[in-house]
Amino acid sequence: MSMDNAHHPTDSNARCAVYIAAMLDVKQKIDLLTRDLRFLLQNMSVDPVESVHGIRKHTKFIRALLGLGSDKDSGLAAPIKRISKILAPFRDAQVNLETYQSLILRDAGFKAPELFAVLNGAEYLGRVHPDRQQLDEMAQLTLQFQADWVQIGRQLDRESIHEKLVNSYTKCYDQSQVISINSGTEVFHAWRKKVKKLWYRIRFIADDIEQTPEHVQTQLDGLGKSLGEIHDLDVLGEIAQGLGHQEWLATLKTFRQELADQAIQDARITLGHGSAHFINILHELER
């Protein structure tokens, strides 16, 4: 279906969709996420792997919700982005090892002892966690964000939320069209980030109502996972290339193509109905 009207919805009722009050309270949701983020930071030594993963997910959720407001609200994300950046090498090291292990389960013939040794010996692997200086910095960044949010954070207007949701959907669709002519690493990475942002925003809306559009969340979740696995393989491929083993790269390329084909197929189901269809889904949330 055509996406000609994706950027300029003309239905005035759609543009001013009447969401229930709980769905509009972005501030309350961000307050809860920030509180949970502080708890995860305080318990980092108990379970470093899960804490790092949990904090990273919280920072992405907060940034996705900040994007529903004005550009001024989006500017508040700097401390949250810094927290995510500090934790990135810890999470990446764990994901790289998990990706390698998943390849072993997928293909018993995939043996790459040198690659495994490099991944298992990574400095930032899950058996370690951020040092005291990094933990203190992240705690301070969280307090900084909370202080700024108290001053500026506010309940968003209905039209703003609706417009940003439709715009987020359209960006996901537009990026899916780029994939048909360019399936490079950076293109898929950009697509993954856009899909994840939309997924968090839909999740925020759906969490606050009884009639959750599970089909939309499930489809976006499946697409996001495929794109995430492609990104993980791309990162692992860069490490393998540095070790100079072409046979590993050939195997990774085969797996990547399978995932890319699946992602494109998922996108046709999830994003291929056009913005009018997506707007109808948003209307369903109001009932």
- Residue 106 pLDDT: 84
The answer to whether the CB of 225 falls within 8 A of the CB of 254 is: no
Q: What are phi and psi of 222, to 5 degrees?
A: -65, -45
Q: Over the stretch 32-74, which tens digit does the pLDDT of each residue have?
A: 899 999 999 998 988 899 999 999 999 999 999 888 876 666 6
- Residue 26 pLDDT: 77
- List all residues 6 or more positions away from 231 whose beta carbon is below 8 Å from its beta carbon: 188, 189, 192
Q: Which letter does DSSP use for residue 75 in this model?
A: G
CB atoms within 10 A of CB 212: 15
Q: Over the stretch 81-122, which tens digit does the pLDDT of each residue have?
A: 999 999 999 999 999 999 999 988 888 778 888 889 999 998
pLDDT at 223 over 60: yes
Confidence band of 16 (pLDDT split at 50, 70, 90): very low
Transcribe 255-266 into DSSP letters.
Answer: HHHHHHHHHHHH
Question: Distance between CA 28 and CA 155 in Å, rounded?
Answer: 8
pLDDT at 267 over 60: yes
- pTM of this structure: 0.83
pLDDT at 19 over 70: no
Q: Which letter does DSSP use for residue 157 in this model?
A: P
Mean pLDDT, the chain, rounded, equals 81
